Amino acid sequence: MNDHNRTAGNLIADIFNYLEYQKDLYGDDVFVAEKSSEKVIHEPQTKPQRLNALYLEVKNCQQCGLCNSRRNVVFGAGNPDADIMLIGEAPGAEEDLQGKPFVGAAGQLLTKILAAIQLKREEVFIANILKCRPPGNRDPLPEERKTCKKHLYKQIEIIQPKFILALGRVAGQVLLETEKSMQQLRGDVYDFQGAKLIVTYHPAALLRNQQWKRATWEDVQKLQKLYLNEKK
Ligand code: URA
Ligand code: URA
């Protein structure tokens, strides 16, 4: 054998050993690098891909009775890479109809509240504790909260927001696992799986109670300050 052949033989042996090693690690799947990046097939997907996969799962959810009366599942909407997540209570009539969160009267106010702190709806991600409308907008039942929050927690895990704004008592209570009142929940900055969480009044509550606007303004200004500090 000349030198050339010996080198080729070594190379083939190296490749063989490498493939054996890969097979031990991953079984029969062959992982191929994409272009020059580190990315490989079967790699954990991007946030939009993971969120979309979750959406496909949730849109046919039948884990509670609300699936019988809903028209649409309201998964949530916005930027999958958002730093800020807004979490409301449950879809209302208009949301149920359109399949989108906060598109009714409360949603219009929410858009204005966001604009007041220089945020567009598309920049944040907006979701709810419940993905389906409770008939007549009744309060979500304990069983519904418990069942549905699993979907929300997966969304939070995928998006990994730095900030969470809980809108209203129900969102605050479910996320913080407490029975505290809105009065008690407001004003503090909580930790939620590494995100800073603030609770403020629900925009629908603000439409009925103008006197809570000032407190809400203070809460969202606090959120803006924390957010701008984080970005520095
Ligand atoms: N109220 C909510 O809590 N969520 C919506 O999506 C709409 C109204
Ligand atoms: N009660 C609620 O359910 N939400 C509010 O925002 C305030 C009081």
Q: Where are the domains of the chain?
A: 47-231
Any idea how long the chain is? Answer: 232
Which residue's CA is the nearest one to ligand 1's atom 7? 102
- Given this model, what pLDDT does residue 232 score? 82
Rounded distance between C-alpha atoms, residue 109 and residue 113, angstroms: 6
Which structure tokens are listed for 158? 């995928």
CA of 48 to the centre of ligand 1 (A): 23
Which structure tokens are listed for 171? 């969102």
Contacts of 226 (CB under 8 A, 6+ apart): 163, 189, 196
Helix or strand (DSSP H, E) at 57: helix 47-58
- Given this model, what pLDDT does residue 8 score? 76
Rounded distance between C-alpha atoms, residue 74 and residue 48, angstroms: 17
- Given this model, what pLDDT does residue 35 score? 55
Q: Match 């809105």 to its residue by tokens.
A: 182
State whether the beta carbon of 169 lies less than 6 angstroms from ligand 2.
Answer: yes
Rounded distance between C-alpha atoms, residue 59 and residue 131, angstroms: 9
State whether the beta carbon of 106 lies less than 6 angstroms from ligand 1.
Answer: yes
CA of 167 to the centre of ligand 1 (A): 9
- List Cα–Cα distances, 173 to 81, 146, 226, in angstroms: 25, 12, 22
Whether this model's pTM surpasses 0.85: no
- Given this model, what pLDDT does residue 12 score? 78
Q: Which ligand is nearest to the CA of 88?
A: 1
- Given this model, what pLDDT does residue 160 score? 98
Which residues in the chain land under pLDDT 70?
A: 1-6, 17-43
DSSP code for 40: B
Instruction: Tell me the best of 89, 97, 149, 152 to mutate to test the pocket of ligand 1, counting ligand atoms within 8 Å of each CB and taking the most.
Output: 89
Pick the CATH number of 47-231 from 3.40.50.720, 3.40.800.20, 1.20.58.100, 3.40.470.10: 3.40.470.10
> Long-range contacts for 225-228 (Cβ within 8 Å, ≥24 apart)?
226/163, 226/189, 226/196, 227/83, 227/84, 227/162, 227/163
- Given this model, what pLDDT does residue 164 score? 98
State whether the beta carbon of 186 lies less than 6 angstroms from ligand 2.
Answer: no
State whether the beta carbon of 185 lies less than 6 angstroms from ligand 1.
Answer: no
